[in-house]
Amino acid sequence: MTDNHTAYRPRRSVLYMPSSNERALEKAKTLPVDALILDLEDAVAPDAKDIARENACAAVRSGAYGRRELTIRVNGLGSQWHDADLAAAAAAGPDAIVVPKVGSAEEVRSLVEAMEAAGAPAHTRLWAMVETPAAVLHAEEIALASDRLACLVLGTNDLYKELGATFVPGRAAVQTALQLVLLAARAAGVAVVDGVYNDVKDAEGFLAEARQGREMGFDGKTLIHPGQVGPCNDVFAPGADEVEQARAVIAAFETAQAQGRGVATLNGRLIENLHVDTARKVLATAEAIAALS
Ligand SMILES: CC(C)(COP(=O)(O)OP(=O)(O)OC[C@H]1O[C@@H](n2cnc3c(N)ncnc32)[C@H](O)[C@@H]1OP(=O)(O)O)[C@@H](O)C(=O)NCCC(=O)NCCSC(=O)C[C@H](O)C(=O)O
Ligand SMILES: [Mg+2]
């Protein structure tokens, strides 16, 4: 829920947009999204890479995106655009640089060195995309490799491709991978966001997948279309009933403590310290979300 180096910030909705698409860059200024990924990689055609890089860096420098967390996804290590993308993004100083297809801790360390050599300011963090079988198997070492690393991002499209798997509702084919990446992120104390849902017209399928991600423990979900933002924010925010329940849990425990007891019950259910911790996180998340508006 929080990363280990900075205060919690909501990442319920994390929207990709092709940085070559100027309408989308404008539109994003009006969307209630928690974070934006200004994409230079898969959503951008080879002959538009240079203009996309210029647009993304100009967007970061513009200061026109308000409280939204602003990140730039560079092309992958080893591609012909990677070095120029990383240098330009580091100089622009977004909240994070998102790197696709990171495969090992060694790659994380060399990315951080390159960011620092290019003068990335201290606030610019690294988000590593986990989207290959090797990355899933190395997720823990990737998550722990550097203090600059703030978030793991699932790349489920690439993962399906690499596994030779087929998408079915419920995502049985990638459940193990999703769980391993979540375990790694939580063990390292970094944030973790779920992969994208490709059918922008299938609102019901999107909601089912977003809810599954929330139940599993993801901080939020990556998105590809403005229409997915509102539903995603709702799914990943604590509901009024959860906030009320959290307050009741804390109150019941405090009453028990005042009476010299270490445990309490609420409506017949046991309440211990750990439930109070969870309740406090629910309240902190709700407060952080309320503070956005
Ligand atoms: C999927 C799209 C190509 C659909 O585009 P379009 O047909 O233009 O949609 P609409 O006409 O419904 O758009 C309505 C307005 O919204 C703006 N728009 C559309 N998409 C975005 C967006 N992502 N961000 C901001 N604004 C957006 C349009 O410009 C319209 O604006 P206006 O006319 O002013 O009202 C398109 O949505 C799209 O390109 N999406 C992003 C695709 C993308 O980034 N893909 C790469 C990442 S996904 C991935 O693969 C992750 C990972 O690597 C993995 O492996 O899984
Ligand atoms: Mg990908």
Q: Tell me, what's the ipTM? A: 0.98
**Ligand 1, atom 2: nearest CA belongs to which residue?**
225
pTM of the model: 0.95
**Ligand 1 binding site (Cβ under 6 Å of any ligand atom):** 15-18, 23-24, 27-28, 39, 42-43, 100, 131, 155-158, 195-196, 200, 224-226
Q: What is the pLDDT along the chain (293 residues), one digit of tens a residue?
A: 444 445 678 999 999 999 999 999 999 999 999 999 999 999 999 999 999 999 999 999 999 999 999 999 999 999 999 999 999 999 999 999 999 999 999 999 999 999 999 999 999 999 999 999 999 999 999 999 999 999 999 999 999 999 999 999 999 999 999 999 999 999 999 999 999 999 999 999 999 999 999 999 999 999 999 999 999 999 999 999 999 999 999 999 999 999 999 899 999 999 999 999 999 999 999 999 998 87
Distance CA 205, CA 195 (A): 14
Report the chain's C-alpha Rg in angstroms.
20
Which residue among 131, 224, 229 is best mutated to probe the pocket of ligand 1, counting the most ligand atoms within 8 A of its Cβ?
A: 224
**Ligand 1, atom 45: nearest CA belongs to which residue?**
43
Closest-lying ligand 1 atom to the alpha carbon of residue 18: 44
Distance CA 59, CA 65 (A): 8
Give the number of other CB atoms < 10 A from CB of residue 46.
9
Distance CA 56, CA 73 (A): 9
Distance CA 248, CA 156 (A): 38
Of 280, 231, 258, 285, whose CA–CA distance to 32 is shortest?
Answer: 231
Closest-lying ligand 1 atom to the alpha carbon of residue 25: 25
Question: Do 229 and 32 meet the contact criterion of CB atoms below 8 Å apart?
Answer: yes
Distance CA 253, CA 238 (A): 21
CA 197 to ligand 2 centroid distance, Å: 12
Nearest bound ligand to the CA of residue 15: 1
CA 132 to ligand 2 centroid distance, Å: 9
Tell me the C-alpha to C-alpha distance, in Å, between residue 211 and each of 126, 205, 223, 233. Answer: 27, 10, 14, 11
Does 158 appear as a known binding residue? yes
Q: Which domains does the chain have, with CATH numbers?
A: 13-236 (3.20.20.60), 240-290 (no CATH)
CA 251 to ligand 1 centroid distance, Å: 45
**Ligand 1, atom 6: nearest CA belongs to which residue?**
225
**Ligand 1, atom 7: nearest CA belongs to which residue?**
225
Following CA atoms 27, 155, 157, 160 in sequence, which dihedral angle do they give, to the nearest 10 degrees? -170
Handedness of CA 57, 58, 63, 64 (dihedral sign): negative
